[in-house]
A and B are shown apart, each in its own frame.
Chain A
Amino acid sequence: MRWRRPVSDRRPLAVVAAAVLAVALAGCGIAKDPLGVTLGDASSAASSAALALEQHDDGRLTKAAAATMVDDARTELATAGKQLAELSTSGEQTAVQRDALDVLARSVQHVHEASADLGSSRARDLIDRLRADADDLERLEQAAVDAR
Chain B
Amino acid sequence: MTDLPQHPDRNGRLVDANLHLLDRQVLDRDDRPILAAGDLELEQSDEGRWHIVRVILGSGLTARFFGAHRPASTRDTLDWDIITDLGAAISTDVDRDDVDALWTERWWRDHVIVKIPGGQHDPG
Residues of A within 8 A of B (CB): 1-4
Contact = CB atoms under 8 A, between A and B. Distances in A.
A4 B65 CA distance: 9
A4 B67 CA distance: 7
Which one of A1, A2, A3, A4 has the highest number of Cβ atoms from chain B below 10 Å of its Cβ? A1
Nearest to B38: A1
Contacts of A1: 38-39, 63-64, 67, 69
A8 B53 CA distance: 32
Nearest to B70: A1
Q: Assign chain B's interface to a size class.
A: under 10
13 contacts: A1-B38, A1-B39, A1-B63, A1-B64, A1-B67, A1-B69, A2-B67, A3-B63, A3-B64, A3-B65, A3-B66, A3-B67, A4-B67
Contacts of A2: 67
Given A1-B63, A1-B64, 10 more contacts: A1-B38, A1-B39, A1-B67, A1-B69, A2-B67, A3-B63, A3-B65, A3-B66, A3-B67, A4-B67
Contacts of A3: 63-67
A2 B69 CA distance: 10
Nearest to A3: B67
